[in-house]
């Protein structure tokens, strides 16, 4: 069985801890060989997350040096700040690596189109992390919509509300790092693009994936920030129309508060709401991210002495059905393509930027077909 050597380039993304802990489970055909991050503190934290196996992993402050030292590696997980995704992607393509990149691929649409152009003819696999494709309730929703159980679609509602990661990933609150540049939310505003809208591509991706429809119009509003110290927006609400006249509503906000400490601790008891509601001529469907949940209170819990909502354990399907398993399956030809593509991410980025434009111009934005 082929053994895949994995590098992680950048530990700036809040999802990277999941891969540091779990990208190469015991007995799998994957091995984490190297991790890079330019921030020594973040690199040390990444090393702690890997734990007992950390000595078997090489640690670098520069991803070029890591790529040079591991010419035999098969793939890279790109986990840097959004701003640096493009440069890392180009370097990974130059070195013929399989690429698994955190979302968003870039908020710069020119860069997104360049990445798509590079992908054409590239003989390695490229995937993006749009992880909600793997949750059974959303898979079921998609199947039911596609099978006609809802009938003719009338409206889709999807919230993607979380706490802000900016306390424990302070880089996430820096506009240049998350959005790629400093752009005021509105003319003269002291809040900048790069917050909740940039961090939440799932609603646009899931709505497209579940309904098969494209976004046609975008009207957005953003409230005064709940967190006065935050430079990026922490609230947005968006409505408009999909192809075929279906109405949608999306809330991609950081409007669930966290404790004001440098660790990840919830104040609102639920870390994430992804509440999907679909109305149609035949029926109605609703599902939430925490569709099978437990309430936990514990003095040594991640949010000590506070009731929080956690996911109940779930069964996964086969090995090919996990995020990285699916990626490997595409590499090995068991799938024609990975579940989540660059094109999926780019489609979401277009709607997200349209939401920013709607806020800037204070009007509806029509998306080109």
Partner 1 sequence: MSAVKTEIITPREAAKRSDDGAFCPAFYWRSFPVVEKIRDLAGGGCCGDLRSLRFTASRPRKHAVDEASFVYDRFSAMLDGAGFLAGAPCRKLYIEKCAGANNLFALAEFENGVVAEFEANECLPDTLPDIAFVKANFSAGHITNQPLVGYFNEEGLLYADDSSCGQYIADNALTSLAAGPFAWMESRFALAVERGEIALGKLGCDRWLSMIAEVLS
With 0-12 / 13-18 / 19 or more C-beta atoms within 10 angstroms meaning exposed / middle / buried, residue 235 is buried
Alpha-carbon distance of 364 to 184, in angstroms, equals 18
CB of 170 to partner 1, least distance (A): 19
Q: Given the complex with partner 1, which of 13 and 160 has the nearer CB atom?
A: 160
CB of 349 to partner 1, least distance (A): 22
Q: Given the complex with partner 1, which of 56 and 261 has the nearer CB atom?
A: 261
> Under 8 Å CB-to-CB from 58, ≥6 apart: which residues?
33, 34, 35, 66, 69, 70
Q: Given the complex with partner 1, which of 96 and 292 has the nearer CB atom?
A: 292
The packing angle between helices 109-119 and 342-361, to 10°, is 170
Q: What's the full length of the chain, in residues?
A: 369
* Residue 295 Cα distances to 167, 179, 209, 312, angstroms: 24, 35, 30, 9
Q: Given the complex with partner 1, which of 221 and 263 has the nearer CB atom?
A: 221
CB of 269 to partner 1, least distance (A): 6
Q: Given the complex with partner 1, which of 129 and 241 has the nearer CB atom?
A: 241
* DSSP letter string, 53-114: GGGGSEEES-HHHHHHHTTT--EEEE-S-HHHHHHHHHHHHHTT-EEEEESPS-S-HHHHHH
Pairing between strand 58-60 and 126-129? unpaired
Residues that bind partner 1 (CB under 8 A): 134, 136-137, 139-141, 144, 149, 154-155, 157, 219-228, 235, 237-241, 245, 247-249, 251, 253, 255-257, 267-270, 275, 277, 279, 282-288, 290-293, 309, 314-317, 321, 362, 364
CB of 292 to partner 1, least distance (A): 6
CB of 138 to partner 1, least distance (A): 9
Q: Given the complex with partner 1, which of 305 and 315 has the nearer CB atom?
A: 315
Q: Given the complex with partner 1, which of 118 and 302 has the nearer CB atom?
A: 302
CB of 136 to partner 1, least distance (A): 4
* Tokens matching residue 97: 């690596």
CB of 215 to partner 1, least distance (A): 12
| Exposure letters 261-277 (e unless 16+ CB within 10 A, then b) | eeebbbebebbbbbbbb
């Amino acid at each position: 069985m082929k053994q895949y050597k994995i590098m992680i380039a950048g530990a700036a993304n809040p999802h990277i801890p999941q891969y540091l802990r779990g990208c190469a489970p015991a007995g799998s055909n994957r091995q984490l060989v190297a991790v890079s991050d330019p921030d020594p503190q973040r690199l040390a934290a990444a090393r702690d997350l890997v734990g007992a196996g950390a000595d078997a992993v090489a640690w670098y402050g520069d991803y070029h040096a890591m790529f040079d030292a591991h010419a035999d590696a098969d793939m890279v997980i790109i986990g840097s700040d959004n701003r640096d995704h493009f440069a890392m992607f180009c370097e990974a393509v130059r070195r013929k690596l399989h690429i698994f990149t955190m979302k968003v691929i870039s908020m710069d649409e020119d860069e997104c189109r360049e990445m798509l152009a590079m992908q054409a003819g590239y003989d390695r696999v490229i995937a993006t992390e749009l992880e909600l494709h793997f949750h059974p309730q959303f898979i079921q929703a998609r199947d039911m919509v596609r099978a006609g159980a809802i009938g003719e679609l009338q409206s889709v509602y999807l919230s993607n509300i979380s706490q802000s990661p900016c306390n424990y990933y302070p880089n996430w609150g820096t506009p240049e790092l998350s959005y790629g540049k400093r752009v005021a939310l509105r003319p003269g505003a002291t809040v900048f693009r790069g917050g909740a809208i940039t961090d939440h591509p799932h609603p646009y991706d899931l709505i497209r994936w579940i309904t098969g429809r494209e976004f046609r119009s975008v009207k957005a509003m953003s409230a005064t920030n709940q967190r006065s110290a935050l430079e990026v927006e922490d609230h947005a609400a968006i409505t408009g129309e999909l192809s075929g006249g279906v109405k949608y509503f999306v809330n991609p906000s950081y409007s669930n508060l966290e404790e004001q400490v440098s660790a990840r601790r919830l104040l609102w008891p639920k870390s994430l709401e992804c509440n999907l509601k679909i109305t149609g001529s035949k029926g109605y469907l609703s599902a939430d991210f925490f569709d099978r949940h437990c309430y936990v209170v514990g003095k040594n819990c991640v949010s000590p002495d506070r009731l929080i909502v956690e996911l109940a354990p779930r069964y996964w399907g086969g090995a090919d059905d996990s995020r990285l398993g699916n990626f490997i399956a595409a590499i090995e030809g068991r799938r024609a393509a990975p579940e989540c593509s660059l094109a999926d991410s780019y489609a979401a980025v277009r709607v997200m930027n349209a939401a920013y434009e709607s806020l800037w111009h204070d009007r509806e934005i029509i998306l080109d077909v």
